[in-house]
Structure 1
């Protein structure tokens, strides 16, 4: 048996492609389990909160949004905890354990009877999310080799974005016709299939033998790590403020039927897939310019959607570019975190998904407050615009800090440790 290794592994191009596909299939399952609730929000509200839905559908939809926030908070808790505790574990075995946890917790989400229990199950189901993406990104980066890190990250994330073209719309349709519980059982089957694919196709890789919980958690002592996390947490609120309430936006604002929701989700998914792949290529050239460009695109897309969502062309163009901009940012922020975390690679790779899911929870929560207050389903789009503005300002501040340190040309501390000043990518 081949010994576990780190760094680029000697495998045939065909074997590498199959290994990357197996890792991306996990992203497909994660994208499905995370985003399908958004398309089925009214169904979840009607079934799990029948009394409240009968009295006020808007209030029930807003409360059902807690399921999305609970999942997001589970990612925030699970990603750094699992990544830091398990950084020394062999990566393939860790991935298999995470996939088993995904499968069992998603089955529980489908079968539990009450809103409170399903809420708890969604939190538990989210715990492996960030650690899976983080470890899978490290494996993919090793498989791709030097100079292609962001593309490796983007390939893993492509499973999530393709889920928004195929998985989420089709599973949403299934949930609308056969019930949301059937939809989650299908998602559990995807995770089970991924377990088999990873077991068969992904090569063995050792963890970091020198990693400890303390060394991994040292990343939190670096100022630029906090900047990168804040950029993801706040800036990504724009996407999730829209995505959480996309079903009522389509039906109440644009005036389309429930059958149009899966088609709009396809449009978002196409935008996310294109943005992710383009963002991965561009981030390997310049992380800084990529982040600036996609934040500006996000602002324009959100403003356009807010002003034209009542018209079908405005809705479709708006959600397409919101999805493209958000997914274009993801590999750039992931690479930025890996750059500024130095030797805390496992936790840094996972923390990106904690940050993005803080944005998920924040966008869903603030959007829900606006909807519950009676401001309508366009209000979350405006909230998302404000969050993205803050994200762009944080990005500017982070890179200005890099420029200041380069100009001084001395060793300066990012946090608790002094590091060598290097040119910004």
Structure 2
């Protein structure tokens, strides 16, 4: 007999949420670790760091493609069952990443690794909302995102350390092991419930007929790009711009992750009260931090607090983006959750490629931060215009 959510103890609900967060922790570690070890696998595969950015972009496009395709293809599948299948695919993608022999094969493996992410966050947010109650959609999404933000504190720095100590291939094998642990935890802890059954494809697709949904997606895909314009080049910022020891890359990654975790927690609270305010506060304060960081990143006194600030301010906006999406299309929670993650990973591609392009044009490493500043300014303007029109 299925176990319904209302009959599950408080402790079991907590364990269920932790299981969901462990899955996003594995996903986040896989995504962000690639940026921390980009100098390692680029050297091993015989390409430049900017060329190796293509593998980071391939992962992001995997998310962009997988979010709508998998969510719609599995529209009627129970969300718990879907999560298990998605984590299995994630493990396979990371094993293939560890075995890749060239940049082309590695990029394909990263694309496969990214396919489950958007659908996982969409289904996971639906399960978390079911557990916490529909009125706490912002907190529910923040719980699911918490695994990702914590991965930037512990997962990515530890993975970077593993890569520097044992090799970048071992990093992806370790990530695969975390994915297997998450799969087991979801199987054991997330309750079976008919309330988590899927809906028709047409019901999910109804969200895509709303212009307001596309407006929020567009502003997120552009505005959040600054996170990745900065994060993709944290290693070079530390070693080349600030002239610090490579061992401090892990510290920089952890500070960025702590900022993201703090911002996510604050953003989850604001989102349930006033999501418009949450986006404006997040994007607006990020612009100030980005400007200071771009001007003073060569100094550790500016670099490290600035990395914390970028992570914190941008993450304040993200739960509000999800809640805004859900309010525009409440009948399609899985698809809007997946599309939110797709937009964030389009931001990943736009930010990383924008930062790389600025550097390639000869404007210096700090130009990647200015590229992020421009993206967030455009995203904020788009959001304000679309909000005022409504």
Q: Normalising to structure 2: TM-score of the pair? A: 0.97
The separation in 1 between residues aligned to 2:216 and 2:74, in whole angstroms, is: 23
Deviations 1:348-402 (A, max 9, x none): 1110000000000001111111222222211110000000001111111222122
The separation in 2 between residues aligned to 1:210 and 1:373, in whole angstroms, is: 48
Deviations 1:136-162 (A, max 9, x none): 000001100142111111011100000
Do residues 43 (structure 1) and 31 (structure 2) align?
no
Q: 1:122 maps to which residue?
A: 110
* Displacement after TM superposition at 1:113 (Å): 1.1
Aligned partner of residue 147 in structure 1, secondary structure: helix
CA RMSD across the alignment: 1.3
Instruction: Show the 5 A alignment for 1:307-346.
Output: 307-346=295-334
Deviations 1:289-310 (A, max 9, x none): 1111111111011111101101
Closer/same/farther in 2, CA of residues 209 and 320 from structure 1, 3 Å limit = closer
Query: Larger Cα Rg: Structure 1 or Structure 2?
Result: 1
Instruction: Show the 5 A alignment for 1:168-183.
Output: 168-183=156-171
The separation in 1 between residues aligned to 2:286 and 2:72, in whole angstroms, is: 32
Q: 1:260 maps to which residue?
A: 248
Tell me if structure 2 keeps the 8 A contact 1:88–1:208: no
Do residues 29 (structure 1) and 17 (structure 2) align?
no
The separation in 2 between residues aligned to 1:39 and 1:375, in whole angstroms, is: 22
Closer/same/farther in 2, CA of residues 71 and 210 from structure 1, 3 Å limit = closer
* Displacement after TM superposition at 1:209 (Å): 6.1
The separation in 1 between residues aligned to 2:241 and 2:195, in whole angstroms, is: 50
Deviations 1:76-125 (A, max 9, x none): 00001111221211111110000000011110101121111011010011
* Displacement after TM superposition at 1:207 (Å): 6.6
Do residues 352 (structure 1) and 340 (structure 2) align?
yes
Tell me if structure 1 keeps the 8 A contact 2:78–2:197: no
Aligned partner of residue 245 in structure 2, secondary structure: coil
**Which of 145, 158, 161 is equivalent to 2:133?**
145
May I ask how many residue pairs the two structures share in their alignment? Answer: 390
Instruction: Show the 5 A alignment for 1:245-394.
Output: 245-394=233-382
Tell me if structure 1 keeps the 8 A contact 2:79–2:198: no
Q: 2:206 maps to which residue?
A: 218
Higher helix share: 2
* Displacement after TM superposition at 1:341 (Å): 1.7
The separation in 1 between residues aligned to 2:165 and 2:198, in whole angstroms, is: 51
Tell me if structure 2 keeps the 8 A contact 1:89–1:207: no
Gaps of 5+ in 1: 53-59, 403-425
Deviations 1:181-233 (A, max 9, x none): 00010100000000000000001134776833233223222110111101110
**Which of 145, 169, 181 is equivalent to 1:193?**
181
